[in-house]
């Protein structure tokens, strides 16, 4: 119940119970291990054009690389929308598969992450990112 309430509050949709499709579960396991995931269907229905643009730009950031929130905003065609990009990352409906862990603050460090900063460090390290260089 607590998970459903938190999920609904964060994404404005009610989570569905059931078995995770094998293709999706496999892609998630690969991505979490730092490897390139296989294809998995992702439904982004209900997101704004800006959210879709930012997430599509984010999907092009290669494993082992990071971008700052400002760089992502510029690549999405809205260089002054740095905070808005942060909000898109916070509401990413499929973290890990849409790799919001690859977005870091320009001030250094790994920054925030909805699944916790330690997991963000772990995911980046598995992809080959030198955390000590951020």
pLDDT tens sequence across 37-70: 999 988 898 899 999 999 999 999 999 999 999 9
Catalytic residue among 58, 89, 100, 123: 100
Map residue 67 onto helix, strand or coil: strand
CB 11, CB 91: distance < 8 Å: yes
Rounded to two decimals, the pTM is: 0.87
Instruction: Report how far residue 116's alpha carbon sits from residue 75's, in angstroms, rounded to the nearest whole number.
Output: 26
The answer to whether residue 91 is catalytic is no
Q: Which among 128, 57, 131, 121 is positioned nearest to 92, based on CA atoms?
A: 57
Structure confidence at residue 125 (pLDDT):
95
pLDDT tens sequence across 93-116: 899 999 999 999 999 999 989 888
């Amino acid at each position: 119940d607590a998970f459903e309430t938190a999920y609904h509050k964060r994404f404005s949709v009610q989570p569905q119970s059931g078995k995770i499709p094998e293709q999706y579960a496999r892609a998630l396991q690969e991505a979490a291990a730092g490897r390139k995931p296989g294809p998995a269907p992702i439904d982004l229905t209900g997101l704004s054009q800006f959210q879709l643009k930012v997430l599509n730009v984010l999907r092009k950031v290669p494993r082992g690389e990071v971008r700052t929130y400002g760089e992502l905003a510029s690549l999405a065609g809205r260089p002054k929308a740095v905070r808005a990009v942060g909000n898109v990352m916070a509401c990413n409906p499929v973290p890990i598969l849409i790799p919001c862990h690859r977005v870091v603050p320009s001030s250094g460090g790994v920054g925030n992450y909805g699944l916790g900063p330690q997991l963000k460090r772990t995911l980046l390290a598995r992809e080959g990112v030198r955390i000590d260089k951020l």
